A and B are shown apart, each in its own frame.
Chain A
Amino acid sequence: SQQGEEDPQALSIQEGENATMNCSYKTSINNLQWYRQNSGRGLVHLILIRSNEREKHSGRLRVTLDTSKKSSSLLITASRAADTASYFCATGRRDTGFQKLVFGTGTRLLVSP
């Protein structure tokens, strides 16, 4: 399996704290994407970082990518209760036309008020 591994599996923090999630993968990639999934809902795209980028920001999100270590991290700053969700990394490779996304098993984030 080429599935990504996420760490930690679960994370519990207080509002206002920062949350960091890590993702490791095994193969070469074109990009790495992070998605959020609220309970009972579909995945929502958060941020995409290309293989030639090292860091990317979007609002309170900061993503880093280290292709030499085949790893990425997602930092959520000043977390809010509304950030409670599962977060998935997905590595993207475009083969013959379509983009193959390989998802990790996710990190469950609980932000307490």
Chain B
Amino acid sequence: NAGVTQTPKFRVLKTGQSMTLLCAQDMNHEYMYWYRQDPGMGLRLIHYSVGEGTTAKGEVPDGYNVSRLKKQNFLLGLESAAPSQTSVYFCASEQRGYIRSNQPQHFGDGTRLSIL
């Protein structure tokens, strides 16, 4: 079982360049999330999706866009990269449960992104 797979693992970009981070899960989970992790801070939610074809903004969505065309994939895009977006990006998935049910999230190993 691969679980949650993120590609690429590392990337260096120049300011103004664009790129897409890919997250794929093989657990048939409904919910998927994109977080960023910065030194001294907890993970912060960028965008999330509650199902194929649906996305929504999280806590820090500015400068990012997402798409969920297939249930197993969740893409995070940076249209014009800025140094402030240097971070480690994590994707997570979660099984859909009953209303107000409690489920753990399953994380990928992250993408380390540097913007010069």
A interface residues (Cβ-Cβ under 8 A, vs B): 3-4, 30-31, 33, 35, 40-45, 48, 50, 88, 90, 92, 94, 97-106
Contacts and interface: CB of A to CB of B under 8 A. Distances in A.
B48 interface: yes
Interface of B: 4, 31, 33, 40-45, 48, 50, 56, 90, 92, 94, 99-110
B35 to A, nearest CB: 8
Nearest to A31: B102
A77 B101 CA distance: 29
Which applies to chain A's interface (DSSP): helix, strand, loop or mixed? strand
A44 B42 contact: no
Contact of B102 (A4, A30, A100): A30
A55 B113 CA distance: 39
Contacts of B33: 98
A30 B100 contact: yes
A97 B49 CA distance: 10
A105 B42 contact: yes
Contacts of A106: 42
Question: Which of A41, A43, A106 has the most chain B CB atoms closer than 10 A to its own CB?
Answer: A43
Nearest to A47: B104
A44 B99 CA distance: 24
Given A42-B4, A97-B50, A104 B42 contact: yes
A100 B56 CA distance: 12
With most chain A CB atoms within 10 A of its CB, the pick from B42, B45, B92, B101 is: B42
B107 A98 contact: no
Given A33-B104, A41-B110, 8 more contacts: A31-B102, A35-B107, A45-B105, A48-B104, A98-B56, A99-B105, A104-B42, A105-B42
B31 A103 contact: no
A81 B41 CA distance: 25
A31 B90 CA distance: 21
Contacts of A42: 4, 90, 107-110
